[in-house]
Amino acid sequence: MSDSLWVHEMGADLVDEIFTLGFSYRFVLGVLQYVGLGRELYRR
């Protein structure tokens, strides 16, 4: 019983970490695209 609970806790932490990393990654990509777009507009 305690083993399955431990596995569940680990799984929840892992999912949370992956979600956070994915969000940060998407956020950074969005910022990079935004900056790139700003540079393109600035060049014109």
List the domain range (segments joined by +) for residue 27.
3-41
| pLDDT band (50, 70, 90) for residue 29 | very high
Residues 21, 29: Cα–Cα separation, whole Å: 12
Per the structure, how many domains does the chain have? 1
Residue 7 pLDDT > 90: no
Residue 24 pLDDT > 90: yes
Give, in order, the Cα–Cα distances in Å from 42 to each of 28, 29, 30, 35, 38: 21, 20, 18, 10, 6
SS3 assignment, position 42: helix
Q: Can you give the pLDDT at residue 43?
A: 82
| Percent of the chain surpassing pLDDT 70 | 98
Residues 6, 21: Cα–Cα separation, whole Å: 22
Q: Can you give the pLDDT at residue 34?
A: 92
